[in-house]
Amino acid sequence: MSVTVQMVPVPRSPVIAYRDDGGLARTMGSVVAGQLPPLPPAIAGAFVSGVLIAVGVARSPTLSVFVPVVALLLAGPGSSHAHDGRLDWLVPPVLRLIEYGFTVAVAVAWSLPWPLAFALLGAILFHHYDLVQRMRQRVYPPRWLATAGLGWEGRMLVVALVGAMPVLVVLLTIYLWGVFLWESVTCWAAASGSAAAAGPADAGE
């Protein structure tokens, strides 16, 4: 198998990369051109999502779409901000909280098999751990990965739509594992093949 290492743009900052925005959030961000502070809307998005989940919207396929839409409308425009505020590093954890919480809520609402929910969340977690490692080792992800991986808002939308149908959730899980794992393994193999020496490994962290 031949692997091509493509030229990859360096993200503006690790915090922006850790947001894991998909195409929708990036589009919303380009509209406001970085003028909106990212943290307050993200926290508001988490709060509103929590309230919506608490009143049980996850149980309805039409209503549950409101959670990702509200979260996207609130937290999406911040994606183009430089994230240089003193507390802006809180944005990625808040986005994680929204996505993980909503996914679990949908799984509970439709009584999805727990191992399936575990596997779906596992794929998303793999990507998030992988993102951090990539930024630290400077093996930056290609631009298409953010689109193919759907981003936090895209995955929430799909989960809201397919949550009622376990077969489609299985397909989504397989798709996400496939994209994230395949892309990561090939990219790391290519990067390490070309690097004779590299930084030290950090163990046990």
Please report, as residue ranges, which positions from 23 to 62 form the binding site for other proteins (by CB under 8 A).
Answer: 26, 29-30
* Dihedral, CA of residue 176, residue 122, residue 156 and residue 76, to nearest 10: -90
Provide, rounded to whole angstroms, the least separation between the CB of residue 8 and other proteins: 6
Q: Which stretch binds other proteins (CB under 8 A): 9-17, 59-67, 157-165, 167-175?
A: 9-17
Between residues 62 and 182, which has the closer beta carbon with respect to other proteins?
182
Total residues in contact with other proteins, by rule CB under 8 A: 72
DSSP structural state of residue 12: S
Q: Is 114 in the site for other proteins (CB under 8 A)?
A: yes
Residues 148-187 that bind other proteins (CB under 8 A): 187
- For 21-53, b/e burial (b = at least 16 CB within 10 A) is bbebbbebbeeeebebbbbebbbebbebbbebb
> Is the Cβ–Cβ distance between 31 and 75 less than 8 Å?
no
- Per-residue binding string, other proteins, 66-105, x by CB under 8 A, is -------------xx--x--xxxxxxxx--xx--x---x-
Q: Provide the minimum distance between the beta carbon of 168 and other proteins in the complex, in angstroms, as a whole number.
A: 20
Q: Which of 8, 44, 73, 168 binds other proteins (CB under 8 A)?
A: 8
- Integer angstrom CA distances of residue 122 from 33, 92, 118, 165: 33, 18, 6, 19
Q: Which is nearer to other proteins, 69 or 97 (CB)?
A: 97
Query: Contact between 22 and other proteins (CB under 8 A)?
Result: no
By CB under 8 A, tell whether 2 contacts other proteins. no
Q: Could you tell me the CA-to-CA distances from 141 to 106, 132, 134 in Å, in that order?
A: 29, 11, 7
Distance of alpha carbon 194 from the chain centroid: 28
Stretch that binds other proteins, among 58-66, 123-131, 152-160, 169-177 (CB under 8 A): 123-131
In angstroms, rounded to a whole number, what is the distance separating the alpha carbons of residues 86 and 189?
A: 36
* Minimum CB–partner distance for residue 70 and other proteins (Å): 21
